[in-house]
Amino acid sequence: MNLSYILNELGEERENYFNAIAPPIIQTSNFKFNTVEHFRAALADEYQGNLYSRGFNPTIDILRKKLAALDGAEDALVFSSGIAAITVPILALLQSGDEVICVENPYSWTIKLFKNFLPKFGITTTFIDGTDLNKLEAAVTNKTKLIYLESPNTFSFDVQNLAAVSVIAKSRGILTMIDNSYCSPLYQQPIAYGIDLVAQSATKYLAGHSDVVAGVLTGKKEVLEKIFNNEYLNIGAALAPQNAWLLLRGLRTLEIRLEKISETADKVINYLNHHPKIERVLHPFSATNKDLALAKKQMKKCGGLFSIVLKNAQLEKIETFCNSLKHILMAVSWGGYESLIIPACAGLSTAEFDLNNKRHTLIRIYIGLEDADYLIADLEQAFDKL
Ligand SMILES: *Cc1c(COP(=O)(O)O)cnc(C)c1O
């Protein structure tokens, strides 16, 4: 489907709301029925229409149509957070005794889901190096029900071969799911590679303004309907109509934001690649990625997220560098208009920090909508402090 059509028109039945250009926020918890017969039909199958805003709502529906189309999926469910869009379907599709294969180093709360939460229900997870298909195949048992991917992940940017994993999974009747937050639907289309379920933190690029927490799950209608009618309604992690409206507003500029962010990130990465105080820059399209060819085949672009390692990256040096930045803000999250930095060492006690652990010295940078020269000047004055 045409991207301009999706972002500007799809799902917007303007004659239903006074031909207003901007969609309304249908701020209601419930919907009325005129006959018992209609009421009964709605109660029997909430997936078909509007009954109660813990389920569907007209503002949410516009968003669902656009998000499904962006992923080339049959349908979409939206959630009050990205992690709910990951947790709810996994709780819905697995049961006690099932096993999961998950790539190593996914998003932090995804790790906690698999390591701490699911074992309470008798579901166990094997973490594997997802860049190695042999290791993935070797981990499959007759209890494996789900292969969970995050390609690329958002700190070290490892990529998995989506088409090959999907073939392995399909031949054994195993479901596949991916966290596609890094690429967004504009830069990677996992469903086209045969992946069954695509989750995203809509908090990031889709909303794009650092003012909404939201999640999206896309896939086959039949699977999403089953999830909706059970765990989705039971767990109650629906998105509020007001936040759905902010997301619709964010989507209008998704394409131009991502274009600008990618262009600026390329300039900043080029500056960093030639900087004498930099050991290396990590991102899927970097020359040092062992799976560079695969990344270029699966992904259109990289967007604004990458990591750096300083030369002789002692803790004091990393802290001085991050503390010295004036415009690039130190904060969690990414995907908004503002450039951000997170040193991995902020998640470790000073005693835990190990100079020889490759993950400990990473500093993640997110490039927002500021000009490249403005950001480079900020980085340069921070380098000068080292
Ligand atoms: C932020 C993030 C999530 C979680 O999304 P929330 O909207 O914060 O719940 C999941 N995966 C990745 C890759 C993320 O960056």
Beta bridge partners of 342: 364
Minimum CA distance residue for ligand 1 atom 8: 82
Q: How confident is the model at residue 161 (pLDDT cuts 50, 70, 90)?
A: very high
Structure tokens at 210: 């650092």
First-to-last C-alpha distance (Å) of the chain: 50
Average pLDDT over residues 78-102: 98
In the prediction, which pLDDT does 181 show? 98
Does the beta carbon of 107 lie inside 6 Å of ligand 1? Answer: yes
**Separation CA 13–CA 65 (nearest Å):** 12
pLDDT score for 72: 98
Please state the rounded mean pLDDT for residues 251-262.
98
Domains contained in the chain, CATH given: 3-252 (3.40.640.10), 254-383 (3.90.1150.10)
pLDDT in the model for residue 118: 98
The tens digit of pLDDT for each residue in 300-339 reads 999 999 999 999 999 999 999 999 999 999 999 999 999 9
DSSP string covering 353-384: --TT-TTTT-EEEE--SS-HHHHHHHHHHHHH
Q: Calculate mean pLDDT across residues 209-232.
A: 98
Do the beta carbons of residue 217 and residue 84 sit within 8 Å?
no
Q: What are phi and psi of 78, to 5 degrees?
A: -115, 150
Ligand 1: atom nearest CA of 213 is: 7
Q: What is the mean pLDDT of residues 150-154?
A: 96
- pTM of the predicted model as reported, rounded to 2 decimal places: 0.97
Expressed in angstroms and rounded, the spacing between residue 33 Cα and the centre of ligand 1 is 38
Return the CA Rg of the chain.
22
Unique residue bearing structure tokens 């080339």 = 72
In this prediction, residue 244 has a pLDDT band, given cuts at 50, 70 and 90, of: very high
Mean pLDDT, the chain, rounded, equals 97
Q: What is the per-residue pLDDT across 49-59, written as a single tens digit (0 to 9) for each?
A: 999 999 999 99
Quote the pLDDT of residue 342. Answer: 98
Helix boundaries (H) for the chain: 3-8, 36-44, 58-71, 82-93, 108-112, 133-139, 162-171, 184-187, 221-227, 233-235, 241-252, 254-273, 292-298, 315-324, 372-384
Confidence of residue 270 (pLDDT cuts 50, 70, 90): very high
Q: How far apart are CA 20 and CA 290, in angstroms?
A: 51
Which residue type is seen at 239? L
For 231, which DSSP code? I
78 is written with which tokens? 């939206």
Residue 81 Cβ inside 6 Å of ligand 1? The answer reads yes
Element containing residue 147 per DSSP (H, E)? strand 144-149
CA of 152 relative to ligand 1 center, distance in Å: 13
Of 222, 192, 176, nearest in space to 75 by CA: 222
DSSP label at 55? S
The alpha carbon of 180 and the centre of ligand 1 are apart by a number of angstroms equal to 10
Does ligand 1 lie within 6 Å of residue 179's CB atom?
Answer: yes
Atom of ligand 1 nearest to the CA of 85: 9
Q: Separation of 93 CA from ligand 1 center, angstroms?
A: 20
Tell me phi and psi for residue 244, to 5 degrees. -65, -40
Distance of CA 386 to the CA centre of its chain: 34
Distances 24 to 29, 62, 230, 245, 246 between C-alpha atoms, Å: 15, 10, 28, 8, 11
Taking residues 76-91, what's their average pLDDT? 98
Short-list 340, 342, 272, CA closest to 310? 272
201 lines ligand 1 (CB under 6 A): yes
Q: Pocket of ligand 1, candidates 88, 103, 109: which has the most ligand atoms within 8 Å of its Cβ, to mutate?
A: 109
Nearest-CA neighbor of 205 among 162, 265, 160?
265
21-47 pLDDT, tens digit per residue, is 999 999 999 999 999 999 999 999 999
The response to whether residue 181 sits with its C-beta less than 6 Å from ligand 1 reads yes
pLDDT of amino acid 225: 98
Residue 18: per-residue pLDDT: 98
The answer to whether the CB of 212 is under 6 A from ligand 1 is no
Burial 46-61 (b: 16+ CB within 10 A, else e): bbeebbbbbbbbbbbb
Does ligand 1 lie within 6 Å of residue 243's CB atom?
Answer: no
Helices and strands counted in the chain (H then E): 15, 12
**Residues 84, 89, 90, 93: what is their CA dihedral angle, to the nearest 10 degrees?**
160
**Residues 126-131: contacts with CB within 8 Å, 24+ apart?**
126/99, 126/100, 126/101, 126/102, 127/102, 127/103, 128/101, 128/102, 128/103, 128/104, 129/103, 129/104, 129/158, 130/103, 130/104, 130/158, 130/160, 130/165, 131/158, 131/159, 131/160, 131/290, 131/291
Is residue 212 within 8 Å of 202, Cβ to Cβ? yes
Amino acid (one-letter) located at 217: L
Please indicate whether residue 203, judged by its CB atom, sits closer than 6 Å to ligand 1: yes
